Amino acid sequence: MSAPLLRVKELEKRFAVKGGLFSRDREWVHAVDGVTFDLAAGETLGLVGESGCGKSTTGRCILRLIEPSSGEVWFEGKDVTSLDGSELTALRRDMQIIFQDPYASLNPRMTVGAIIGEALTIHRLAKTPREYEERIVHLLETVGLNADHLRRYPHEFSGGQRQRIGIARALAVSPKLIVCDEPVSALDVSIQAQVINLLEDLQGRFGLTYIFIAHDLSVVEHISTRVAVMYLGRIVEIASARDLYTAPKHPYTEALLSAVPIPDPTVKRQRIRLQGEIPSPIRPPSGCRFHTRCPIRVLPLCSTETPPLEQKSTGHWAACHLRG
Ligand code: SF4
């Protein structure tokens, strides 16, 4: 088997928070806690979980937009966490991000041409002003916009069009990997499918590799090659999209899946409603972190022993004591 494009090993990110109003003691939010996975070139890994589970922080640590606390990130055999200066700038060409909120992620005072062209300038990818403009027009057309949009401002566009501008900005430097950080969560359902179809189309044309972050399993179902489900900073299940959707092993994945609508009205799926809120990542539950909400927990086993992420069948990994 060829080497993966991206290898993430035991990635951790802790954020310090103050203990209390008058306390000098620091407490730590374990936002990402031992995340490990490989990603082959051309694959799409869906990264799914409730808000606060660490999926966006994982994506940002991989790109070094946030510094990881520990762990390893290897991209094309290079240790990303040890790069700096020109090596890190070069890496930023290969690894890009599309943000969730197309309203907040585009500078309202810059024209669309300047927003997309910024990366061309930073990485010196256009030799003349004419080439610069031609490349921007080509990028606009690639994402379904046109040359007339070049001198307009973000507020003149709809949410879906703004997300297309964000995609064109990411594509400007011809990246290999794009972290799509909830790219359709802020969009109307009718527009979501258009943006996902565009991302799939671009993947085919340019051989892109994606990490596609979402809080909802239905969003990543069709675009993902594999899916990883996160809970309180950890991956609790990772498998091919087909295996995960047809035969989930982890009770948390089952609960998320039970909320996904089925297009066939004759098929009924029983909704699994989890009790309580997601616990605080400052003091996560002992043992299996999901035990406070798990409908099939067995005590004291689940509250005292941490289940390792184990291979349950070929390519299908899950962290649960009870599921084989
Ligand atoms: Fe539920 Fe126990 Fe499995 Fe955790 S280890 S998911 S609490 S059954």
Q: Report pLDDT digits (tens) over 206-215.
A: 999 999 999 9
Ligand 1 centre distance from Cα of residue 240 (Å): 21
Query: Mean of the pLDDT values across residues 276-301?
Result: 93
Query: Mean of the pLDDT values across residues 23-30?
Result: 79
Quote the DSSP letter at residue 279: P
Work out the pLDDT band at 76, boundaries 50, 70, 90. Answer: very high
Closest ligand 1 atom, residue 302 Cα: 2
The set of residues, in sequence order, having a beta carbon less than 8 Å from that of 259 and lying 6+ positions away, is 216, 217, 271
Does residue 291 have its Cβ closer than 6 Å to ligand 1? yes
Largest CA distance in the chain: 69
State the Cα–Cα distance between residues 97 and 42, nearest whole angstrom: 16
For residue 147, give both structure tokens. 């040359």
> Per-domain residue ranges for the chain?
6-94+179-189+203-276, 106-174
Q: At what angle do helices 159-171 and 129-142 cross, to 10 degrees?
A: 130
Q: Is residue 3 over pLDDT 90?
A: no
Closest ligand 1 atom, residue 298 Cα: 2
Which residue has the least CA distance to atom 7 on ligand 1? 291
Closest ligand 1 atom, residue 289 Cα: 4
Does residue 293 have its Cβ closer than 6 Å to ligand 1? no
Q: At what angle do helices 189-206 and 159-171 cross, to 10 degrees?
A: 20
Which residue has the least CA distance to atom 8 on ligand 1? 297
Report which of 83, 53, 67, 93 is spatially closest to residue 13, judged by C-alpha positions.
67
Does residue 322 have its Cβ closer than 6 Å to ligand 1? yes
State the Cα–Cα distance between residues 173 and 75, nearest whole angstrom: 17
Q: Is residue 21 over pLDDT 90?
A: no
Q: Is the peptide bond before 300 cis (omega within 30 degrees of 0)?
A: yes
Q: Which fold has domain 6-94+179-189+203-276?
A: Rossmann fold (3.40.50)
pLDDT of the residue at 22 = 62
Q: Would you give the end-to-end CA distance of the chain in angstroms?
A: 27
What sign results for the dihedral spanned by CA atoms 215, 241, 41, 204?
negative
Does residue 149 have its Cβ closer than 6 Å to ligand 1? no
Query: Mean of the pLDDT values across residues 195-220?
Result: 95
Which residue has the least CA distance to atom 6 on ligand 1? 320
Task: Give me the chain's average pLDDT, please.
Answer: 93
Q: What are 150-183's pLDDT values in tens digits?
A: 999 999 999 999 999 999 999 999 999 999 999 9
pLDDT of the residue at 23 = 64
Distances (CA, A) of 107 to 39, 73, 166: 32, 30, 11
Give the three-class secondary structure for 258.
helix
Bridge partners of residue 235, in order along the sequence: 230
State the Cα–Cα distance between residues 299 and 223, nearest whole angstrom: 38
pLDDT of the residue at 181 = 96
Q: Which residue has the higher pLDDT, 284 or 19?
A: 284
